Structure 1
Amino acid sequence: TGKRYDRFRDRVMFPIRDSRGRVIAFGGRVLGDDKPKYLNSPETPVFHKGQELYGLFEARKFHRNLDEIIVVEGYMDVIALAQQGLRNAVATLGTATSEEHLKRLFRVVPNVLFCFDGDQAGRNAAWRALEATIPGLQDGRRARFLFLPEGEDPDTLVRAEGTDAFKARINQHAQPLADYFFEQLTKEADPRSLEGKAHMVTLAAPLIEKVPGANLRELMRRRLKEITGLDTAAVNQLMQSAPAEAQPSYDPGFDYDAVPDYGDYQQHDYQAQQEWTPNAPGGQQKKWDKKPWDKGKKWDKNGKRPDFEPRGPRTPATVEPPALTALRTLLHHPELSAQVANASTFADEENVYSQLLVALIDATQKNPKLRTMQLIARWHGTDQGRLLRQLAEKEWLISADNLEQQFFDTITSLSARQRERHLEQLIRKERQSGLSAEEKVQLLNLLNRKVPAQTPTSTGV
């Protein structure tokens, strides 16, 4: 429309600096209840939010000889810790911790401490941080993980208990990466059974082999042998047979790892045309000589150039399919599956996302204690597993209050679509070859149904 608006209206502003202290972007935290809670500047040639860390410049400026950096989840956590004298904290800019983040940190310090909330979301973020850390874990580098009491974050906790108590908590409860690694895998794969031992090696092997530090890698291999009770030959054989990472076959045109940002949708791949200024008076050239369109080629009588090629249709922006949104919600909130009465009502045999959603609901209904990482592990080494992991990492721009309602709205919509497909199939078959008695009853029931779709939830949500 050509109108301007204040991108960061009603937000507290946080300047984001590069390694030299230059302001390259801003982050804004909402003052009220608007969404998203945090909003960053759009991506630019000098600002890539998946690589920058809030507070890193300030931490290096305050400490000339930093030994360890604390990674927290938000701007306010960095500020709260700094106010209490802990000036070595940084935060990602609303994205999951990446390998690029760790490369930057390990160039500055040999030790990194991840400080996360104790809830399920915090533990999911910690595991993603572990996966990002492992490729950079050379001998002499160390990573630890600290989980805070559920419902607490660094901001509230350090204000409540003070700096000394918070430092004591770090010293007493922070887990080395290898300890946290094997603790989590033991929860997912029971090493007391043969199947559990094999599953643990399958999960652990690809990650252990990525450790660049020869000493740490060998020690983790030995630890894996001790836990599983398998000898060296057996472990090596299982490691070699572990499924290798492969390119996923699902919707390659969709960027599941992208972190959406409202300003990003205003960017286009074209360049603004440079303003043309005519030669000064007295010049001998015509004002249109040697311009980009003047290549010595004539225009035809219809006003077209011989070398003219029409522009192809504009590719529309990709929108996440509803089934993927439901999958992502269920990954973070597996307890919602208990309210789905009949998942078969939307089990579209031609839609891989719907099939995976039904399988996920079935798994969580049979075992309500399954958490996000355990669900992903069930499909480890498959396209489905890689899809689930990428969905779990994608940033939410939906209010937590609306997630549950959106999930069941999506379930209802999928059920309605499946009903319509079933109805069309029966009508087509009736016209072509006729229906059996059972199929006639199904068709009659579908035609007589007054509501658009049966809500497949047991609670009437």
Structure 2
Amino acid sequence: MNGRIPREFIDDLIARTDIVEVVDNRVKLKKAGRNYQACCPFHNEKSPSFTVSQDKQFYHCFGCGAHGNVISFLMEYDRLEFPEAIEELAQYHSVDVPREKNSTPAPTAEQKQQKADDYELMETVSRYFSQQLKVHADKERAIDYLKRRGLSGEVVKAFGIGYAPTEWDAVLSTFGRSPETQEQLLDLKLITQNDNRRRFDFFRERIMFPIRDKRGRIVGFGGRVLGDGTPKYLNSPETRIFHKGNELYGFYQAKQAHRNLPRVMIVEGYMDVVALAQFDIKYAVASLGTATTAEHIQMLFRTTSEVVCCYDGDRAGREAAWRALENALPYLKDGVEMKFLFLPDGEDPDTLVRQIGKEAFEQKLVTDSVPLSKFFFDNLLQRHHIGSAEGKAALKAEAMPMIEQIQGDNQRAILTSELSNYMGDRNRHRLEQDVAKANQHKAGAKLDFTALNKAKISPVRMMIRLLLDQPAIASQCQHANPAALGNMQVPGLDFLSELFQFCLTKPKANTAQVLEYFRDHPQSKNLAKLLSWEYAEENQVMVFKDSFAKLLDWHFKSRMDELMSKARLGNLSVDEKQELNLLVKEQK
């Protein structure tokens, strides 16, 4: 794992980028006043509601709410993870991405070139396999197999399915014309060698399934034997660009088919993924001969809110499902769900969807899928007999450490509550919940600065909005520092102080850089809402000072009320009496 990308580099990358150029290369923009417009690339619409501001280096869609800076756009439009978007933008500017010290060194230029060459060779070999399906002497045998499996030419082309010839040296003789290329083929496991150092093709007489990573680059292959040879399926071994525990077959195609994946279904084989896609079920993925790993789960939960594990209903299938559940528990958060669908004996998604069709198959997903909580307890109750105190103790001893791994407070609470039912102490669990709730400190009612009100915007929201537009205002109004308001109980004030301090240190920052700095902040979504609010952009400094004056007035009144309450009880100190007198005079 490489080290963190320095914040300064990200800021510089945003500063040197014109978001209009980047967006216009992907979505044709038209000038509309000070901004640029287009039909939104993130949802279907007939009239443009997607706006790009060159001044603020910010985009916003008034239709679907999509918003952000140039990095956000690359992540959304090109479907990249954050580090990959940084790499893409750095490549756009022909600069290398640095990494912070005390971490694994960033790849050298030579290593980067090696990887680029590896991806290019894998793509070239994949095209060769696809071509062999059309020109090889044995092509009819391969095509007949695909037809027997019910695959159309369109889906074969969409997934880049090909054919590895029967010859021992088809790939070796075609691509290994130099010692250097032969070594590369060997490193990528496209060829292999025996103890006598004789080299030959790794895949022979197989239907070939290219495996793409989440950026669409071919990193490996899966091969299905045509005859009776073994193994039936053969996957690329681990290489410098292929780590099967990190990849899912069909994941790239699923992301390309959906801007927002409604769900992802994990199946067991390549053919299942392809067959489901042919029936327009384009959200299936397959692990590559391994159990569903923690890395798989993290990748999926970053992309979708529903994961369905579809396995055989036999013992092996249920054991695979249990391993997937164990790997998923630490990454379960509120708002995501995991389900399990167990198929009848002798059936797999490929055969089942051909029997019952898309609509019935998807209905089966809804009606027959077992929620994680049910599968969790069904499995445990098969091993622990809760008719005895010892059985209950054993159940709790196994269940609680697993439940405590769950991130989501609500999901963890629900499973804990269900466990208490099986333990027979539901009433005690409810009592503990009620006591904990009663002991929570209840804050008084507060104004909600996050609820945007165009008719009357609060001073806190107004100041945040102005700082987003012009960070330099902070240095121009240093006396209007929100930190001077102390512990004033106004929601959003803490964030305003944080934003003000950032703008003091970065007066030359633009809106895009501010948004990037607060990307992972709990208030980041509310910033986008504020940016979508239009106001008369005049006298910003004066409006900022006036808003701060209002907050200061609220602060004084609140403090005066607090001191007057203490005065009624005769608990004022000498200093507090002087402070109250000054406040009363100020209000006259």
Q: Give the TM-score normalised by structure 1.
A: 0.49
Task: Specify which structure has the higher proportion of helix.
Answer: 2
Q: Which has the higher contact order (CA 8 A, sep 6+)?
A: 1
Q: Give the TM-score normalised by structure 2.
A: 0.39
